[in-house]
Structure 1
Amino acid sequence: MTSRKPGSRTRSKPKAGIRMAGLLGLTTFVLFGAIRLVDLPEKAMSPGKPNLIFLLTDDHRWDALGAMGNPIIKTPNLDALAKGGLLFPNAYVTTAICCVSRASLLSGQYESRHKINDFATDFSPEAVANTYPLLLKKAGYQIGFVGKYGVGENPPDTQYDFWACNRKGQPPYALTNANGKPIHHTDSVGHAISRFLTDFAGKEPFCLSVSFKAPHELDGNPPTYPIQERFRDLYKNVTVPTPETADPVYWNSFPDFFRTDQNIGRERWKPLFSTPELHQKTVKDYYRLITGVDEVVGNLVAQLKQRKLDKNTIIVFMGDNGFYLGEHGMEGKWFGHEESIRVPLIIYDPSLPASQKGTKPAKIALNIDIAPTLLAFAGIEIPKTMQGMDLMKNTARTDFFYEHTFMGSPRLPKVEGVVTRDYKYMKFIEHGYEELYSIAADPHETKNRASDPVYTQKLNELRKRYAVLKETVK
């Protein structure tokens, strides 16, 4: 990690090995809501441009949040942000896979425009310069990145004032600190946040981007969910309901090209959801990882308050894509169902009028909206190359284009489509296979209406809209 002296426009040169050692060498202070801080100056940041914090979870579906009505999961700190801010119940990603979605979050662009479609491709220098953090830096913000960058193999670490990321595209959960002691990735993120605030808070306006690995699985054979030990007994005495579409009839309803053991969604389902006992363990561990994130958010908010920065710091929270937890006989994301593409989104702005706090805007919000929204908060002109919208303004969006073209059949059949408020049209482009769901009437997407004559007019309408959007997103 590196820091910059107040008023300086140049970075200090890091010593070899200091980045991760500094991140992992701090003493653990998280004990579910407890926080320990060093003595802080009384001076608060002078009024002006707001500080910006963007929090991103990995594989976090929309309903895995107490504020979204989940009666089991414990997320009190995120729920408090939602209660004091805006909660978007209709938030989606334009591509449900980490590398593409993260590129869209940073650039404000669809995959069809930013062209990041795998885990190896880097942003071009020009593209990096037009990501929201670098545009904020150009406008005088100090910028930091913590956790998982997730775009390409050569992240732009030297262009940040503070960088605390593992260079691996998919970092491990089990880390070792400078004292040789084990530390969980979520805890290491919390420590890095504290370090950033110590070095930068109360000086120039800042933008801190925080990207958790949680609740992403740890890839392996089988994949696992390594949780923090202190949460091991959380949810122990509850029973997670089995989703309707976990019934084998729904997996068996897919066409032959999709319904194969080579499909990654099915491959990962077997060791994690193929028995009732595995289903209970996997979902509870997934929830435990999210509760660990919530703890870090609570500590972050406490630090902002102690530093007297809470009145001038905007916090935006989102998931990078959704996640199947056994629905449709799968584990993962990628495809067009609600479980895969719908995510939690909270915007907490302390200057929000009282009448708007705790409200739930019905508008369709997208991951490509994050970059323009953050820039707008800072009073920076939104580049015309960005395809997203400022979510704090009234938007006329009634639908959006969905695309997932990484890998292809049989592992991940490529799919594109259109999502509206009431309907969803998906086309598996390698096979010409179509899906049409009436989301309003069938929210769990149990019946594909593409061959139903009653829906022929709607199918043709969405086919035409799909052809238009496929061209306009380029």
Structure 2
Amino acid sequence: MMQKPVFSFFKSYWAIGILLILPILSAWVSSRPVKEKDKPKADKPNIIFLLTDDHRWDALGVMGNKVIQTPNLDALANSGVLFRKAYVTTSICCVSRASIMSGQYESRHKINDFSTDFSADALSKTYPILLKNAGYRIGFIGKLGIDVKNQPDSLFDYWSSPKEGQPQYELVNKSGKIVHHTDSVNTDIRTFLNQFAHKEPFCLSVSFKAPHELDGNPPKYPVQERFKDLYKNANIPDPVTADPKYWESFPDFFRTEKNIGRERWVPLLSTPELRRETTKDYYRLITGVDEVVGNIQAQLRELNIDDNTIIIFMGDNGFSLGEHGLEGKWFGFEESIRVPMIISGKPLAKKVKGIKSDKIALNIDIAPTILSLAGVKIPESMQGQDLIKMLAKNKRGRNDFFYEHTFMGSPRLPKVEGVVSQDFKYMKYIEHGYEELYDTSRDRHETANLAKEAAFDKKLAEMRKRYLELREAAK
């Protein structure tokens, strides 16, 4: 809470003198000719960035999912731009969130675990602090996801983030009542908007825990009471690659019960019944987030600031729900690295309304896009690009990108790097020299590894070369 200023009492004749002078000063100021440099700058948009945790690309109605209910996010996408090929450059929360804030690959920002945070200099070049220096009010709500020992809360105008790596789903509020994390985030958003709506411009960054599992033995998906019966009778189809033969096709270093992706698969996805109920809970948590999105839009209208507010939505990484016999993210499969991404808002209506883009968009593009929307210069240190400019007809966009995941290592999480293009995917498990090559234009479920097929020797050589080029460029 901001403190009220303390005023000293002057002697009465000083007070009377000031009261007499003020009208004269006011008349003089109002009669002065307004110089160009004194004119107020054009309104800058408010920006709300919403981030879900472990949200795979196809867990939205607008992305073709016939089961999940996300009406508010679908409407947001239909009124703005939906990036149907959005990806993260590293599929784990601490790294991806650092990439989002800095606009950099892991190879450059060097945050590759849960105990490393931004240096003071690196933090000063993240999008929230650059916006603050440009006159924006900045707020952060939810899970930070980067080292929590040195939270940058003092730099923000509003901060509501627990000092723990993974917040709980069930929180106890000041009244002793248990509140779901998503509902708590909703309350904080409402508080922020009421406080800063008319102190524009502002940038609010919101990070949900949903739909991330609650870690434990076994892991769980605590959902809000009002959503527990949602999807009760829904038909959840089994993934193509849930067939055991796909897990059995992995090499020995990967196909081990010590692999975290397999370890977490056992209690949540190892039977058709478990897989269906876990998927329903996962969807329920996302529908809870969708409800908050609807509340935000309603409040923006109530406050009469919807005309000048842009909303950006994405997931911090994807999530396997049994594909390839795995649970989680980390590896280079489409379920792991591909995420939902939406940019919408009335200030952009003429540029992006109703666009469904198949250009490759990345998490490292968020920071430069936000800065560009705010009219703030993009630092040369950022490796992403302005997505709105990329959508221009004369902008082709990127053909491919570098993927890296080097946290932990074998046998728990084998390290992997590679290249993802519009039509092919090359992944190399760098501790073992094992390669994967998928023709994603024809094999969207990544069922056939072509790396040892003689017919694809030329393509494999091409992707190997491109991998080395991109790996060097990412530094």
Name the TM-score, length of structure 1 as normaliser. 0.90
Helix, strand or coil: the match of 1:209? Answer: strand
Shift of 1:353: 4.2
Task: Output the amino acid matched with 2:132.
Answer: K
2:406 equivalent to 1:405: yes
- Paired with 2:327 and 2:444, the residues of 1 have a C-alpha distance of 19
The question of whether the paired residues in 1 share the 8 Å contact of 2:45 and 2:347 is answered with no
Instruction: Kindly name which structure, 1 or 2, has the bigger radius of gyration based on alpha carbons.
Output: 2
Who is 1:275 aligned against? Answer: 271
Shift of 1:349: 2.7
2:226 equivalent to 1:225: no
Helix, strand or coil: the match of 2:213? Answer: coil
Task: Output the amino acid matched with 1:308.
Answer: N
Matches within 5 A, 1:41-60: 48-60=43-55
Q: 1:370 to 1:243 in 2, by over 3 A?
A: same
Q: Which ranges of structure 2 fall in alignment gaps of 5 or more residues? A: 6-40
The question of whether the paired residues in 1 share the 8 Å contact of 2:310 and 2:348 is answered with no
Who is 1:97 aligned against? Answer: 92
Greater share of helix: 2
Who is 2:135 aligned against? Answer: 140
Matches within 5 A, 1:256-295: 256-295=252-291
Task: Output the amino acid matched with 1:151.
Answer: I
- Paired with 2:389 and 2:351, the residues of 1 have a C-alpha distance of 16
Task: Choose the corresponding residue for 1:193, options 189, 194, 205.
Answer: 189
Who is 1:14 aligned against? Answer: none
- Paired with 1:159 and 1:386, the residues of 2 have a C-alpha distance of 21
Shift of 1:95: 0.1
- Paired with 1:3 and 1:70, the residues of 2 have a C-alpha distance of 45
The question of whether the paired residues in 2 share the 8 Å contact of 1:3 and 1:162 is answered with no
Q: 1:378 to 1:3 in 2, by over 3 A?
A: farther
Deviating more after overlay: 211-220 vs 350-359: 350-359
- Paired with 1:5 and 1:93, the residues of 2 have a C-alpha distance of 44
Who is 1:11 aligned against? Answer: none
Q: Which ranges of structure 1 fall in alignment gaps of 5 or more residues? A: 7-45
Output one character per residue of 1:64-118: Cα deviation in whole Å (capped at 9) or x when no partner. 0011010000001000100100000000000000000000000000000000010
Who is 1:458 aligned against? Answer: 459
Who is 2:146 aligned against? Answer: 151
- Paired with 1:373 and 1:232, the residues of 2 have a C-alpha distance of 37
Helix, strand or coil: the match of 1:351? Answer: helix
2:418 equivalent to 1:417: yes
The question of whether the paired residues in 1 share the 8 Å contact of 2:436 and 2:450 is answered with yes
Q: 1:385 to 1:174 in 2, by over 3 A?
A: same
Shift of 1:4: 8.8
The question of whether the paired residues in 2 share the 8 Å contact of 1:52 and 1:313 is answered with yes
Helix, strand or coil: the match of 1:360? Answer: strand
Shift of 1:351: 2.6
Who is 1:332 aligned against? Answer: 328
Matches within 5 A, 1:433-448: 433-448=434-449
Deviating more after overlay: 271-280 vs 208-217: 271-280
Helix, strand or coil: the match of 1:444? Answer: coil
Shift of 1:188: 0.3
The question of whether the paired residues in 1 share the 8 Å contact of 2:55 and 2:317 is answered with yes
- Paired with 2:425 and 2:353, the residues of 1 have a C-alpha distance of 31
User: What CA RMSD, in Å, does the superposition of the two structures yield over aligned residues?
Assistant: 1.3
The question of whether the paired residues in 2 share the 8 Å contact of 1:65 and 1:73 is answered with yes
The question of whether the paired residues in 2 share the 8 Å contact of 1:336 and 1:426 is answered with yes
2:71 equivalent to 1:76: yes
Helix, strand or coil: the match of 1:437? Answer: strand
Who is 1:13 aligned against? Answer: none
Who is 1:174 aligned against? Answer: 170
Who is 1:213 aligned against? Answer: 209
The question of whether the paired residues in 2 share the 8 Å contact of 1:47 and 1:312 is answered with no
Task: Output the amino acid matched with 1:236.
Answer: K
- Paired with 2:322 and 2:358, the residues of 1 have a C-alpha distance of 27
Task: Output the amino acid matched with 2:277.
Answer: K
Output one character per residue of 1:276-322: Cα deviation in whole Å (capped at 9) or x when no partner. 11011100000000000000110010000010010100000000000
Task: Choose the corresponding residue for 1:127, options 122, 128, 152.
Answer: 122
Who is 2:37 aligned against? Answer: none
Shift of 1:47: 6.2
Task: Output the amino acid matched with 2:412.
Answer: R
The question of whether the paired residues in 2 share the 8 Å contact of 1:4 and 1:161 is answered with no
Shift of 1:5: 9.1
- Aligned pair count reads 434
Helix, strand or coil: the match of 2:437? Answer: strand
The question of whether the paired residues in 2 share the 8 Å contact of 1:190 and 1:296 is answered with yes
2:310 equivalent to 1:309: no
Who is 1:365 aligned against? Answer: 361
Task: Output the amino acid matched with 2:123.
Answer: V
Output one character per residue of 1:303-346: Cα deviation in whole Å (capped at 9) or x when no partner. 00010010100000000000000000000000000000000000
Aligned-pair identity (%): 68
Q: 1:158 to 1:473 in 2, by over 3 A?
A: same
Who is 1:15 aligned against? Answer: none
- Paired with 2:330 and 2:79, the residues of 1 have a C-alpha distance of 32
- Paired with 2:226 and 2:195, the residues of 1 have a C-alpha distance of 29
